[in-house]
Structure 1
Amino acid sequence: MRAGERRGAEVRTVGVVHVYRVAGTDVAALRGVDLSVGPGERVALLGPSGSGKSTLLSVVAGLRRPSAGSVLVDGRDIARFSESELYDYRSHSLGLMMQGDLSNLLPYASPRENLAFVGGPVRSRGRHELTDGALGAAGLADERRPVALLSRADQQATALAVAMAGSPRLLLVDEPTSQLDDDARERLLDTLVQTTTAAGTTLLMVTHDEQVAHRMQRMVRMRDGRVGAEGQRHEQYAVIGADGSVQLPEELLASWPAGSAVSVKEASTDEITIRRRLPAEEAP
């Protein structure tokens, strides 16, 4: 990022809880999420359906208010924002690519007409270069057809250009490649990484695809509304929760199911041992 350009936003969630009601029953989608994303960092949120990753994204977007906890963007708690402050935040600091090909677009307008609607008649040179670069990389710079008639890959490329039209300091993306083939997926990811890197934009992306997550700088795995592990491509670490809990890796759950009794002992200052109690050791 060149001198004088805006840096990406810093995001930190502290003990975020989100509870909603279904048929008169409270359901906890988030159960105390602690997450830090540095300025300009690219982070993937991974996890099975129902793990809370999309809910967390919508909370960081200010589309839902947490039931408890703080959502700090550059040190300001957006969970405490008024509606006018949230509107200003989403208008000037945030770019959104939500799930669904056309959810971010005017289906009857061309890619460039979509950009004109979002960006207005006057845009800075830097913004012009970013959005034109995103369209050009997809071969859409001169496309005049309505986006409803374009392929899913071209619709997603247009959605990315629209999300970046305001040079946001934070870009939130939900499952951008779920309906794309392998080639289209890689082209979109190339454009996504290049565009956000050029702008210095912080990127937080929800995905279920390991290959997509590997294109980010860090992966955060969620399960049952909590952060279970994080790390880079070849190095994942379990995360100790505020209550001292640690989620076992998915591959161990079949042989170590919930309710298993274990002993936990300190082996050294940097190591513990976990041993499951065998049936023969149970008291009569």
Structure 2
Amino acid sequence: MTGLAISTQRLVHIYRTEGHDVAALSGVDLDVAAGEVVGLLGPSGAGKSTLLSLLGGLFRPSAGKIFVGADELSSVSASRLDELRAAHVALMLQGAGRNLLPYLTARDNVAFAQDGARRAGVAVPGVGEVLGHVGLDAEADLPLEQLTPGHQQLAALAVCVATAPGVLLADEPTSQLDHEAADRVLATIGRINRELGTTVVLVTHNPDVAARLPRTVTIRDGKIGGEGRSGEEYAVVSADGFLPLPAHALADLPPGTLLRFHKERDVYQLLVEQAGNEQDRNEEDR
């Protein structure tokens, strides 16, 4: 299986809590190319895990569309959605134990994870091949309780890629690990991406993890709040013209600040007007 592209269009998700409707996502437009690695950043409650769950087909959005490969998740049949989740889209929950059966070894966990794909008629790699991808050959037959936290996380990763899925969705895969184990897990995810072509979307709060990713997307208040590319942060214009400012700019541009765009040749300049004064800001976009 090669990587699958992901696209969301004006994605909205509303849930009800304590008698009130809460918009977890408010019009998210996101495109992830097949084989790309993308990190989702943002404060707690911003909507990152909700977005990950929607991409994994755990529930349907309130509005908008989600495309994974050629499938639009809100319109596919229940049987096709089951097949996608069993074989093509893997969701790794936060905490290794939530992805593993504790009474089985890593080898048996991987074999169990492949059963659904086999029943759907999908060809799967050998168990030994999967364990080799994550570097667990020597620990494959040990009881899970004898594995280190880092090796348990690698076992969870092996379960998630047991079917060579086109998409891997990982929720905080390094949050409970020390620095050395976290490095090993990230390196293994990178190797899976390179060797299998799997598209990877992972949630993280760790700035060190984010710095190692080629692309990051920041979620703020249920919207795309910015993108990072090779260490540079960019604001992203949404389909409805919404332009969120980077968090660090808000200290200089408080609510009520007047902004104006000026185009000179092919360059846009953002002009800021405060108290009747016009100032050129160091922000340009082609």
Query: Normalising by structure 1, what TM-score?
Result: 0.88
- Quote the Cα distance in structure 2 between the aligned partners of 1:213 and 1:59: 22
The match for 1:209 among 193, 206, 226 is 206
Q: Report the RMSD for the aligned CA atoms in angstroms.
A: 2.4
Structure 2 partner of 1:53: 48
Alignment of 1:1-284 (within 5 A): 6-120=1-115, 126-128=125-127, 130-135=129-134, 137-138=135-136, 140-145=138-143, 147-257=144-254, 259-268=255-264, 269-278=266-275
Amino acid at match of 1:131: V
1:252 Cα deviation from its structure 2 partner: 2.1
- Quote the Cα distance in structure 1 between the aligned partners of 2:248 and 2:37: 26
- Quote the Cα distance in structure 2 between the aligned partners of 1:134 and 1:7: 15
Structure 1 residues 90 and 183: CA distance shift in structure 2, 3 A: same
8 Å CA contact 1:230–1:237 kept in 2: the answer is yes
Amino acid at match of 2:226: A
Structure 1 residues 127 and 249: CA distance shift in structure 2, 3 A: farther
1:150 Cα deviation from its structure 2 partner: 2.9
1:75 Cα deviation from its structure 2 partner: 3.0
Aligned length in residues: 273
Amino acid at match of 1:144: L
8 Å CA contact 1:60–1:71 kept in 2: the answer is yes
8 Å CA contact 2:131–2:140 kept in 1: the answer is no
Q: Deviations over 1:7-48 (max 9, x none)?
A: 210110010000111111111110101111111111111111
8 Å CA contact 1:46–1:222 kept in 2: the answer is yes
- Quote the Cα distance in structure 1 between the aligned partners of 2:126 and 2:214: 24
Query: Normalising by structure 2, what TM-score?
Result: 0.87
1:143 Cα deviation from its structure 2 partner: 4.2
Structure 2 unaligned segments of length 5 or more: list them: 279-286
8 Å CA contact 1:127–1:167 kept in 2: the answer is no
